[in-house]
Structure 1
Amino acid sequence: MQEESAKIPDRKHEDSIVRRVAWYSLIVNTMLVAVKLYLSWVSGSLALEADAIHSFIDVLASVALIAGIWLSGLKSSNYPYGLYKIENLVSVIIALLVFLTAWEILTEALSGGDTAVAFSGWVLFAVAALVSVPYLLGTYEVKMGKRYNSPGLIADGKQHRVDVLSTSVVFFALFAQYFGIPVDSIAAVIVALFIAYSGWEILKDSMRTLLDASIDYDTRDVIKSAILSDPMVTGIKTLTARNSGRFIFVEATVNMKRSDFSGAHIASERIESKIRELVPNVERTVIHYEPKERLHLRYAVPINGPEGEICSHFGEAPYFTVLEFNLKDAKLMRKETISNPASMMERQKGIRSAEFLLTCKPDIIYSKQPLTGKSAEYVFESAGILVKITNADTTAELITEIKADLTAGMTESDNDEKTQAE
């Protein structure tokens, strides 16, 4: 509950920033329309008038963006997953407006764009100054959109950067007409094709989200690593994640060591927190857990050196030996000795050693001394790892002890099955 309450103010803060950037876009676009209409009236340029209409389309897109961002934050019982995809619908609208812009430029270029008009030289400087405005605005919107994962801002920003091309076409058309060189129609056709391609990219990304396509591979790999890093997880059965607006929904079915509800529930909450820590804008994470039949057991024991002498002090052990046994025949499958990086620390050797061992995912920890009341015990307990006391002095003796325990367990299991059969 504390995590959810902390997330709400952050979400409101992010929404306010996204809305503020969208308002910046609306104000700048409105000013561009006014300036371009004035310049077209002063110069009598049809190209400038068409560009002003293009900027007016941007105004409509900005209004749609603000409305989409506002609506996407609303929730109701009829829409339990929120209205986040409205932002993607807005992106589709913006993409269609980009197509309309491309068609507008293409039509203008093929229907008398080379008609000479009389205008003063200062108009060229004014139009040249306007070229940088949509580029700066678009770059800022794309940057903020990526930071806060807003598809609407990203789409609007990309469209503004495309506006640089259309305004550049107007400038070169005016420049050519000023010197009597009619080349603006050919350039306009080329730019219209680039604009249409940009619209297709925006439309494609938005439709992927609307159709619940999976998230990108890099983000999925981060989520997968976060799940597998938990000491109780033995594998991932299914993993799906999708974008909805600027938020991500994650659902996974994982295999865990323990089948008891409380331990698995704690582990799932730990996994959810880890995913939110590594991946921004995760709205909901659902972890389904189920036990998996164990074929192997993994043991870990602190040792003094590669020769295998078991260390009496858990946190000060310079090495750990990891042993993996097959449960069907009590056979040792793997033996590995690893250095303990926490043994060189001045403080918290016990808890840091325990946290390091979690990366090896042991099922049982052997120790010469009880860990009762120590920080290492709490780490192992929360991860569902059993701690046992051993009187063995070397790993060779411990291996014999483990084999005897596993063999005895298999004998008891066989006897139970025979009793049930009788």
Structure 2
Amino acid sequence: MEENGLLSSPVRRVAVYSLALNISLVSIKYLLSVATGSLALRADAVHSLVDVFASIALILGLVISTRKSPKFPYGLYKIENVVSVVIALLLFLTAYEIVQQALFEDTAAVSYDLPVLVVVALLIPVPFLFGRYEMHVGRRYNSPGLVADGNQFTADVLSSAIVFLGLVGSAFGLPLDRIAAVIVAVFILRAGWGILVDGMRVLLDASVDQKTLEEIRGFILAEPAVADVRRITGRNSGRYVFVEADVAFRIDDLEQAHRISERIKETIRDTIPRVDRVVLHLEPASVTHTRYAVALGDEEGTISPHFGEAPLFAIIDFDRSAGKVDEMRLITNPYTEVEKGKGMQTARRLLTEKPDVVVTRERMAGKGPAYLFAEAGVEVLRTEIPLLKEFLQAVRSGEGTEPDEISAAANHGQE
């Protein structure tokens, strides 16, 4: 089979099976209705014939939804949702047919025998089992059309059960099929309404669920070069998800920012397979605040002469416009006893805190952590100021809000 053939994907394959099963059910029910003269079986055959058209529509929707066209740059994925809405309407029609049959039609068969009852009874579990399988595949591959068609098959189970009860009840003169028909119609209407609502939400570009958006936001923020996610939206289109986000980068190099954004997109698509397209709008990070990460040798605030061996780091949020510290907290360094690579591991841990400037008394030029910080757009400042409180005084002093100016206040340039 060719890669783009009708049976090339599990979703299309199950849709073809659905069509074949519906054709078989129509044929069997129609032959039984001719043999018995049962109006109920004939009506059920007509109902299954409607399902045949629904299966054809589903297959067309699955095929057309994957086509690319310059006139539809965002794809034709929503055709699947259009199909699911059509199937929902067919469910409403089914409910109407059942009510009509229960209230106004004579459902008693003219003639029947035990083999007919056995065949009708055997027909009941077939669509139920296939419908459950079809919904399982539909949910696994996020195909709304397949899920809707599976629901249609479960509705067929109920209508087939009504026919069977009608045939059995007629033997005893009890109109059980009429009472059951009304109850079944309510269940069918409920299923159809759920399918209709889900399909219309997508067609009207309703947002992706908040849990998925927060998961995507987390992947974006995990990138050290990202300062903030200012806005994130998503919408469903068929079985796929489209995401757009306004992302503040701490780096000014557009080529580097583009490379990082592609890495973020790949991570999101690999982790959440339903995501088809991610659009990141790159924006500069806010300059009103600066976050410093200062390597400390002790809790008294001595600035450590070693980066990787610093037991503590002070995380300081400095309000540049007000010239004051908004918040300061201490975090421990769990990698001080690591024999190899403690500097790199410490740097990765610090990057999760999203610092703008890393301050240490150690020369970092040419070392691995410095390259990690440079990739993330983080300034590395070497200072000879021995104490944290003196460093903060330098930060607060006039123009000492820029790394190079702080360095100048300490009479040392940035390495």
Query: Normalised by the size of structure 1, how large is the TM-score?
Result: 0.86
Cα displacement (A) at 1:220: 2.1
Cα displacement (A) at 1:71: 0.8
Structure 2 CA distance for partners of 1:14 and 1:42, relative to 1, 3 Å: closer
Q: 1:365 aligns with which of 342, 358, 361?
A: 358
Q: 1:105 aligns with which of 86, 89, 98?
A: 98
- Structure 1 residue aligned with 2:225: 232
Other structure's SS at 1:80 match? coil
Other structure's SS at 2:243 match? strand
- Structure 1 residue aligned with 2:63: 70
- Structure 1 residue aligned with 2:75: 82
The one-character-per-residue Cα deviations of 1:180-232 (angstroms, maximum 9, x if unpaired) are 21121121122122212222221221122122222222222222333333333
Residue pairs, 1:18-167, within 5 angstroms:
18-167=11-160
Cα displacement (A) at 1:166: 1.4
Q: 2:203 aligns with which of 202, 210, 219?
A: 210
Q: Residue type matched to 2:41 in 1?
A: L
Question: Comparing 127-136 with 38-47, which one deviates more in the overlay?
Answer: 38-47
1:182 aligns with 2:181: no
Structure 2 CA distance for partners of 1:318 and 1:171, relative to 1, 3 Å: farther
Other structure's SS at 1:407 match? coil
Structure 2 CA distance for partners of 1:68 and 1:406, relative to 1, 3 Å: same
Q: Is the 8 A contact 1:222 1:278 kept in 2?
A: no
Q: 1:314 aligns with which of 286, 302, 307?
A: 307
Cα displacement (A) at 1:298: 0.6
Cα displacement (A) at 1:292: 4.5
Query: Normalised by the size of structure 2, how large is the TM-score?
Result: 0.87
Q: 1:296 aligns with which of 283, 289, 294?
A: 289
Q: Is the 8 A contact 1:113 1:185 kept in 2?
A: no
Q: Is the 8 A contact 1:259 1:290 kept in 2?
A: no
- Structure 2 residue aligned with 1:223: 216
- Structure 1 residue aligned with 2:259: 266
Q: Residue type matched to 1:241 in 2?
A: G
Distance 1:330 1:12 in 2: 66
Distance 1:375 1:14 in 2: 51
Cα displacement (A) at 1:160: 1.5
Structure 2 CA distance for partners of 1:343 and 1:47, relative to 1, 3 Å: farther
Question: Comparing 35-44 with 216-225, which one deviates more in the overlay?
Answer: 35-44
Cα displacement (A) at 1:353: 2.2
1:380 aligns with 2:377: no
Q: Is the 8 A contact 1:227 1:233 kept in 2?
A: yes
Other structure's SS at 1:212 match? coil
Other structure's SS at 1:283 match? strand
Q: Is the 8 A contact 1:109 1:185 kept in 2?
A: yes
- Structure 1 residue aligned with 2:389: 396
Structure 2 CA distance for partners of 1:103 and 1:78, relative to 1, 3 Å: same
Q: 1:247 aligns with which of 223, 240, 263?
A: 240
Q: Is the 8 A contact 2:101 2:107 kept in 1?
A: no
Other structure's SS at 2:124 match? helix
Structure 2 CA distance for partners of 1:327 and 1:50, relative to 1, 3 Å: same
Q: Is the 8 A contact 2:344 2:368 kept in 1?
A: yes
Other structure's SS at 1:360 match? coil
Q: Which blocks of at least 5 consecutive residues in structure 2 are unaligned?
A: 406-415
Q: Residue type matched to 2:47 in 1?
A: H
Distance 1:162 1:150 in 2: 19
Q: Which blocks of at least 5 consecutive residues in structure 1 are unaligned?
A: 1-9, 413-422
Q: Is the 8 A contact 2:108 2:166 kept in 1?
A: no
Other structure's SS at 1:381 match? helix
Q: 2:193 aligns with which of 193, 200, 223?
A: 200
- Number of corresponding residues: 404
Cα displacement (A) at 1:15: 6.6
Structure 2 CA distance for partners of 1:12 and 1:251, relative to 1, 3 Å: farther
Q: Is the 8 A contact 1:330 1:406 kept in 2?
A: no
Distance 1:165 1:159 in 2: 10
- Structure 2 residue aligned with 1:353: 346
Q: Identical aligned pairs, as a percentage?
A: 48
Question: Comparing 16-25 with 301-310, which one deviates more in the overlay?
Answer: 301-310
- Structure 1 residue aligned with 2:413: none
Distance 1:287 1:224 in 2: 11
- Structure 2 residue aligned with 1:415: none
The one-character-per-residue Cα deviations of 1:50-73 (angstroms, maximum 9, x if unpaired) are 222222222221111111111111
Q: Residue type matched to 2:362 in 1?
A: Q
Distance 1:93 1:162 in 2: 15
1:16 aligns with 2:9: yes
Structure 2 CA distance for partners of 1:372 and 1:147, relative to 1, 3 Å: farther
Structure 2 CA distance for partners of 1:374 and 1:45, relative to 1, 3 Å: farther
Distance 2:204 2:92 in 1: 21
Distance 2:314 2:63 in 1: 57
Distance 2:336 2:5 in 1: 45
Other structure's SS at 2:93 match? helix
Structure 2 CA distance for partners of 1:391 and 1:208, relative to 1, 3 Å: same
Larger helix fraction of residues = 1
Structure 2 CA distance for partners of 1:334 and 1:181, relative to 1, 3 Å: same
Q: 1:173 aligns with which of 166, 170, 173?
A: 166
Distance 2:346 2:296 in 1: 12
Distance 1:371 1:14 in 2: 58
Structure 2 CA distance for partners of 1:88 and 1:385, relative to 1, 3 Å: same
Q: Is the 8 A contact 1:22 1:153 kept in 2?
A: yes
Question: Comparing 69-78 with 234-243, which one deviates more in the overlay?
Answer: 234-243
Q: Residue type matched to 1:111 in 2?
A: F
Distance 1:87 1:233 in 2: 36
